[in-house]
A and B are shown apart, each in its own frame.
Chain A
Amino acid sequence: MNDRDWQTMIKNALDAETFPELNHDLWPRMQDRLAAAPPTPSRWDLLLLAAIVVLAFMFPDMLLNLFYHL
């Protein structure tokens, strides 16, 4: 047998297999998964955090003011 014959034989054997169909809706489980996911910070949140870190390095005294206002 050459490679082509082998491949045909493999295809025929695997083609003969049957697989179960999905017979119910998975959306309720997907909703649970979406609800369980931790909230992802927006780009603005990350930008704000980065700005605070940079400013804290540049002006360490600013941290005291920041904590006072929080």
Chain B
Amino acid sequence: MDLRLEAFIGGDHAAFEALFREYQREVYGWIVRLVRDPAAAEDLTIETFWRIFRSRARFDPSRSFGAWARRIAINVALDHLNRAAADRVRFAPIGDADGAAAPAADRDAHRSIVHAFLNLPATLRVTARLALVEERPYQEIAELLGVSVGAVKSRVFRATRLLQQDLAGWRDRR
């Protein structure tokens, strides 16, 4: 067993600090892609590690710490998105890599898709990002979200249908 993980489970702060420093950027990266707000992503990264520290006794050291951390991070991000939906917070597109270099029609298309994506309910958006953008296997997504593979397939199907409906108007205008 990894001695550092063993020490972490025992409540050793130095071991926790080492894990924090190793994973903080990765955890932040997962969260910011879901919540799209850098300041909130920092707060949620802290919240994720706080939950990790509090539930350390439940961690199975024979499994991947990264996968466990990711599962917690996704749940923290989902809680935030659901709260934000209840508060009717509007999510803004955060910036695009091909920005000025892309033709105007492509930029318009990308913007429309991103806007439609941001209108999806939080659970569909998170599932669709993992499945369609990151192309994670359904089995892995099911484990990350704590749902069945069937539920993941259903969410991806519903997300695709909702995006198709939302983008139908844009496609007709092309």
**Residues of A bordering B, CB below 8 Å:** 3, 6-7, 9-22, 25-27, 29-30, 33-34, 37, 40
Contacts and interface: CB of A to CB of B under 8 A. Distances in A.
Top-8 shortest CB links A-B? A13-B113, A22-B28, A13-B110, A14-B133, A18-B97, A16-B96, A22-B25, A16-B97
Contacts, number: 89
B114 interface: yes
Given A16-B97, A18-B96, A22-B24, A10 B163 contact: yes
Interface residues of B, number: 39
17 contacts: A9-B109, A10-B117, A10-B160, A12-B110, A13-B110, A14-B129, A14-B133, A17-B114, A18-B97, A19-B38, A20-B38, A22-B28, A22-B29, A22-B45, A26-B20, A27-B24, A30-B20
A contact patch SS? helix
Interface of B: 13, 17, 20-21, 24-25, 28-29, 32-33, 36, 38, 42, 45-46, 49-50, 53-54, 93-98, 102, 109-110, 113-114, 117, 128-129, 132-133, 135, 160, 163-164
